[in-house]
Amino acid sequence: MRTTKLHQNPRHFPNDLPQQIIGITEALAKNNSNPNQPSWSYIIRNHLSQGNPKQVLSLYTQIRQNGLHILGLVPLIFKACASASTQTYGKSLHAESIKAGVAIDLHTASSLLNMYSKCGNLADSRKVFDEMPERNVVTWNAMIAGYLKNGDRDSALDLFEKMSIRRNSVTWIVMIDGFAKSRDTLKARHFFDKVPLELGNVVTWTVMVDGYTANGELEAARELFEMMPARNFFVWSSMISGYCKRGDVKEARYIFDRIPVRNLVNWNSLISGYAQNGFCKEALEMFRKMQSEGFEPDEVTITSVLSACAQLGELDVGKEIHYLIKGKGLTVNQFVLNALLDMYAKCGDLAHARLIFEGMGYRTSSFWNSMILGFAIHGQSKEALEFFRRMEELNEMPDDITFLSLLSACAHGGFVDEGLDIFSKMETYGLVAGIKHYGCLVDLLGRAGRLKEAFDLIKRMPIKPNDVVWGALLGACRIHLDTDMVEKVMQEIGRVDHGMDSGNSSHYVLLSNIYAASNRWEKAEKMRMAMVNEGFQKIPGLSWQISSHQL
């Protein structure tokens, strides 16, 4: 059953349904004597399997508008509500089910309990649980999982200890996973060690290993991983992702190379890890190798590879990936679309990026950010500001990255007043300026020669300035040869004999160059001698630039 792709706001249900579904709806409306015929179940299950719960709920709306009743499919509707995290339809259907006398059915009640739990409504979930005339292990597991998912570990533990029926492997997995996700790996390991021998399996081991990796405890994860009697593809990927998250791509590659039989998830973990850590050439190399071994990429692969292309500025390779998407008919979700847009924008093909942007029916802040940043890094500051004005007119919500991109655009375009105005708007949107925002603002003022304002801004900052913030001001001092301001900076950061205690040799280089450019050779030589005495080697000076890594 082919479905249309949705570009609407995910918070709203689509206004129309695929024509095929409408046709079936009309057909069934004419013959509602058997509303629970197999075609309904097929359509609904198909949407759920494809991860389209909102389509299911839209279909349910159409059914009701045609005067049909599908009480036999109530559990599936509850499942769709749980997946979509909405209680609106579920509560209404719950009331109808009670009237029809089907709410006491074990399967239906379990689905209802699960819906309330996943929507964070633990009170109603527990009420359903307590009122059930009979319960099975699935019901107990669902209630315990609901408590853990919503952070109520004490209630989960209490219910676990009160279980009146035999626990199964899922019960133990729920407890291990729940405590691990709440960052209590010690308690999670306690449950892992207590799993009865006959209930221990590869999933139990995998959940514990993944709990460690998710919390950054790679040593504990590795120890348990090496002890595993058997491994599935997920635990291999968990280890790879864990090392990549730490930035240890070398160890991640070592784990990858040990996998006896790889699948697409394993490839995606490594390629994504390479791209996220800036090893973009390696990401593209592994992508080519993956293809040569007969693996077809999915939307996760494509998103990672496009990110690598964006960071490298490889427009030609990015276009190849775009053609691949079209040729293979790959799923184009919002992540793929944003990756395409970001790639074209960062590679300088702003016309193509804008074409993709304008063709979208629904845009998240990340789409706007990609366009604004693309304009900013390619010197089109006016266009970046225009996009922000358009964003405001459409009542779109900017985030901290939006403002970072805008401040960068203002700094490179020399729009000082506009930059100050934009910075002041952060509070309006409930956003708190971070060190990067202040760094951009210092750079903006410094480039314009307003060094005193930049210096005063640093002194008023609610957060401690770092080397990059001071470096932005010192860089401006070099441009404008303002040695008096250099002296003020030295006094403010408490240098003795103009020595640097931050360990950043770029400051020595900047100061030496500033003094040399203003013919103050004695102080320039003093800075260079300080570098020698501290054991620094000259490195390229820093400038405040926004890169894909910073974002």
Based on DSSP, count helices (H) and strands (E) in the chain, helices before strands: 31, 0
Determine the pLDDT at residue 19: 42
Q: Report the first-to-last Cα separation within the chain, whole angstroms.
A: 39
Which tens digits make up the pLDDT trace of 360-396?
A: 888 889 999 999 999 999 999 999 999 999 999 999 9
Mean of the per-residue pLDDT values of the chain: 82
72 DSSP 8-state letter: G
Lowest average pLDDT, out of 28-42, 221-235, 311-325, goes to: 28-42
> What's the rounded mean pLDDT across residues 205-229?
97
Q: Where are the alpha helices (DSSP H) in 448-504?
A: 451-460, 467-480, 483-492
- State the DSSP string of 141-158: HHHHHHHHHTT-HHHHHH
Domain ranges of the chain: 434-442+454-551
Lowest average pLDDT, out of 145-149, 365-369, 410-414, 516-520, goes to: 516-520
pTM to 2 decimals? 0.76
Both tokens of residue 220?
Answer: 């504990």
Which tens digits make up the pLDDT trace of 248-299?
A: 999 999 999 999 999 999 999 999 999 999 999 999 999 999 999 999 999 9
Determine the pLDDT at residue 50: 75
Determine the pLDDT at residue 546: 45
Convert 125-161 to b/e letters by CB count within 10 Å (16 or more is b). Answer: bbebbeebeebeebbbbbbbbbbbbbebbebbbebbe
Q: Match 């190798």 to its residue by tokens.
A: 289
Name the residue with higher pLDDT: 101 or 17. Answer: 101
> What's the rounded mean pLDDT across residues 70-98?
78
Could you tell me which residues come within 8 angstroms of residue 380 by beta carbon, excluding any fewer than 6 positions away? 350
Determine the pLDDT at residue 126: 92
Which tens digits make up the pLDDT trace of 292-337?
A: 999 999 999 999 999 999 999 999 999 999 999 988 888 788 899 9
Check whether 21 has a pLDDT greater than 80.
Answer: no
Residue closest to 32 by CA, chosen among 60, 76, 69? 69
> What's the rounded mean pLDDT across residues 238-257?
97
Which tens digits make up the pLDDT trace of 393-449?
A: 999 999 999 999 999 999 889 999 999 999 999 999 999 999 999 999 999 999 999
Check whether 76 has a pLDDT greater than 60.
Answer: yes
In single-letter form, the type of residue at position 382 comes to: K
